[in-house]
Structure formats: C-alpha cells, structure tokens
Amino acid sequence: MPVTRGFFGRRDRRERSHRLPPGQYDAGADWPVLTAEATPVIRPEDHTMTVDGLVERPTTWSWPELQALPGSSYAGDIHCVTTWSKLGTRFAGVSVDTLLEAAGPRPEAAYVMAHSTTGYTTNLPLADVTGGRAWVVWEHEGRPLPVEHGGPARLLVPHLYFWKSAKWVTRLELMARDRPGFWEQNGYHDRGDPWLEQRYQGDP
Amino acid sequence: MTTAPAGPWTTGRIAEVERPTDRLVRLRLEVADRVDHLPGQHYVVRLRAPDGYTAQRSYSVASDPVDPLLELMVECLPDGEVSSFLHDEARVGDVLELRGPIGGWFTWTGEVPAIGIAGGSGVVPLVAMLRYADRLGLADRLRVVAVGRTYADLPYAAELERRGAFLALTRENHHDRVAHPPYPDELAPLVDGVERAYVCGSVGFASFATRLLGEVGVLARTIRVEQFGATG
C-alpha cells in the first residue's frame, strides 16, 4: 500500500508502541464512550447476573450475591476497535471462571453469548472467557463503574476488542454452536483479536 | 440488518479538498474498486509513514451513494493524529488508504419515518441521509435537528437549512431564535409519527439528545446512537 505523502506519525509513538496492537493509538487518560444504544438507567440493587444455556445448574445471582462471590481484578490494557487503547487501567469484580464453576458448563458448550439489559449481544468462544481471561466487573479504578461505561456491571474480556466486553451485562448463555451477536451481525469480526487486527468480518 | 463483510483495503485519490473553517476539512475522493454505501455508513482512513507505521480513524460519509466521488467531512480534533494531518497536509492528488463502507446499524434508507439529531460534525451522516432522501423524494420521512455553537461552526449549515433541517444554535441567535440547545417543545412536533431516532455527536451531546428524545416520548429502543470523542 502507498506511503502517505508528508505523514511521519507522532514523534513520541516509538516509546509506547510495543504495548499498542497494530492500528491503535494511546488514548492516555481519556476513556472514550462508544455505544450504539441509548444508555439505560439501572439501579444496582435491581441488577442480576445469570449463567444459563448449556449448563448443569442455570444460576442467577442477585446484586448482593454477586458482590459476595470471591473477588477478582484486572490491571492492564484495553483496546477498542475504533482504534483507541487505554493502557494500565484497573477493574474489579468477579472472574467468569467463578460464575461458570457454579453453573457447571456441559461438555458440548463451546461458545458464549453475552446479553445486556438493552438487548445488546456479543458472541465469544468459551475458551476466550475461561482460564482467568474474563471478568464481570463493577469497579473501575476503585470506584463504581459509571453507567456510560456499562455500570452497574459489564463483561471484561481485555484480550479482545472492547465491543466483546458487553456493557450492562446480565446474562451469559452457553451454546454448542457459534451465533453472531449485535455488532457481529453488523459487519464486525466473530473473534476480535486486536493483535491480529480482527476488526471486521472477512479479516484473518 | 446484516451487511456484507467490510471490503478489503483500497485507495482513494483526493480529487477536491476544501477547508471551510480552521477546524474542518472536506475531502472528495475517487475510490478504487468502490462499493456502494448506505446513508449513515463510514469509512476508515489509514495513513502510512515511510517506516511502515500506520494510523487510522473512521469518518462518516457525507455524500449520496450515487455521487461519483466519496465525500468525507473531517473535524480536526486537538492532538488528532489523523485529522490534523488531513487538515494541515492533505492536497489534491494525494492517495490515501481507505476501507469501507462499514456499519449496518446507523443507516437509513427511507424504510421508516425517522428523526435525526446531531451535534457539530455529527451532522455528517445525516447530510448523507438528507441528500439521499431528497433525491428519492423521501424528504418527508426524515426530520433533522442540527445543533451547533454558531452558524459558521456547524458543518453544512446552509445546506442543512435549505433541506429543511431545524437549526438550534447554542452561542448565537439565529433568525428569531435565541441561542439555546433545542427545547422539548421544539422537538415534540418533529417526533410525531417517527419510528426511529438517530443521534450523532460527542459523548456529552449524545447523552443530552437521548435524554431530550425521552422527554418527548421517544422510546429508548428506537434510538440509534453514534458517539465520538472522549470523556475525561
């Protein structure tokens, strides 16, 4: 592809580039908000979390029950398909492993559909939300997660593009076969690995 | 709605460039192997340095799908790596890497009566929708509210007004309207009978506009939002 006449990139890009997947920029202290729907109003005390589908024990946790589970946190980088990345940020909540352990995935479960209160969905391979790589979080930098960023609770799958980290998540549905979620039906990639630049359907 | 996969990367040659204000640049491009877009879709522009470093951003399309050139109106953001380059450097004859059209959600092709509310450069996808609606005689199915600080700041202000959009300026009086964001009673008559609402603008604007739509009775599930920019 052609070099862009006159373009040399930022002067400071080299120092931080090793943490940035291809095509991403460092948003610094900013945390852009990207949502396709009107932001819902949810009282935390009304928020529940369900794991169902192909599991032995479909389980729903109330808000206090969710908070009472063993806590787990993530400190690291997040990457949005719209090309911003946020480096060294912290979330706290519960590991998806903890939720799955209670519900007992059946052997044929291979994919997950995350559902939000708004009707938003996103699909993931089960392997991408197990092994300590995914969380349901309600705290960011020690404070309650703001509603525009998915509060009271959102999914966090930091090794994939952030549209996979469904805001206002209420349900993880385990499935035997993959099925496209909201953005995936609208042209985005089924997996979304930022290091492979899996942005849109048809990418590697 | 399902859309086809985004096409592979292609290139666009800048055929026209105009800088209507010190923060806006309007590019009109001849796109190689172009795929028809829907009003409301966007393209990704990728810049490439001699050492292979790339930077890319998404920009909404302003042109009607039948326009032989692809029109992008880019707002120069503070410290914006791609927008600053396009504003300061781009000139006729330059070739840019492009990918698109992208997005199957924030699109309108006249299938339902709709309202669009946009702030600042958020008007760009609505301009594409209005141009399309006018050409196909669907203008009565799309109402547009465009919000800007001043007339000079608002991209496409004259065209929006000519096509029947309601202009709400917040920092200067316009005709007999005193400077102010849109009021619920200004919006109420425009949402009568609409089945879908499009909101496009900054994060703060999008939250204002969705709240305002709620106040005049528009159901949240009919609202489609496209937001840009950062929160602090």
3-class secondary structure, A24 = coil
**Pairing relationship of beta strands B142-148 and B114-119 according to DSSP bridges:** parallel
pTM: 0.74
Of B49, B50, B232, the CB nearest to A30: B232
CA of B20, closest CA in chain A: separation in Å?
Answer: 22
Region of poorest pLDDT, from A137-146, A153-162, B75-84, B130-139 = B75-84
- Does residue B4 have a pLDDT over 80? no
Region of poorest pLDDT, from A37-51, A54-68, B91-105, B141-155 = A37-51
Asked if A84 and A154 touch (Cβ cutoff 8 Å), the reply is: no
List the single best residue of A1, A4, A148 to mutate versus B (max B Cβ within 10 A).
A4
What residue has token string 């993931």?
Answer: A124
| pLDDT (0 to 100) of residue A117 | 92
- Does residue B122 have a pLDDT over 90? yes
Q: What is the pLDDT of residues B171-221, one digit of tens each?
A: 999 999 999 999 999 999 999 999 999 999 987 898 899 999 999 999 988
- Does residue A11 have a pLDDT over 60? no
- Does residue A15 have a pLDDT over 90? no
Taking the C-alpha atoms of residue B128 and residue B117, their distance in angstroms, rounded to an integer, is: 14
| pLDDT (0 to 100) of residue B229 | 62
B78 or A151, greater pLDDT: A151
Of A1, A4, A35, the CB nearest to B227: A35
| Residue-by-residue DSSP string for chain B | ---PPP---EEEEEEEEEEEETTEEEEEEEETT--PPPTT-EEEEEEE-TTS-EEEEEEEB-S-TT-SSEEEEEE--TT-HHHHHHHHT--TT-EEEEEEEE-SSS---SSS-EEEEEEGGGGHHHHHHHHHHHHTT-GGGEEEEEEESSTTTSTTHHHHHHTTPEEEESSS-BTTBPS-SPPHHHHGGGSTT--EEEEEEEHHHHHHHHHHHHHTT--GGGEEEEEES---
Q: How many CB pairs under 8 A join A and B?
A: 131
Does A31 sit within 8 Å of B231, measured CB to CB? Answer: yes
Name the band, by pLDDT with cuts 50, 70 and 90, for residue A26.
Answer: confident
Taking the C-alpha atoms of residue A100 and residue A53, their distance in angstroms, rounded to an integer, is: 11
Asked if A89 and A76 touch (Cβ cutoff 8 Å), the reply is: yes
- Does residue A92 have a pLDDT over 70? yes
- Does residue B2 have a pLDDT over 80? no
| pLDDT (0 to 100) of residue A16 | 53
Does A3 sit within 8 Å of B48, measured CB to CB? Answer: yes
Say if the ipTM goes beyond 0.85: no
A185 or A9, greater pLDDT: A185
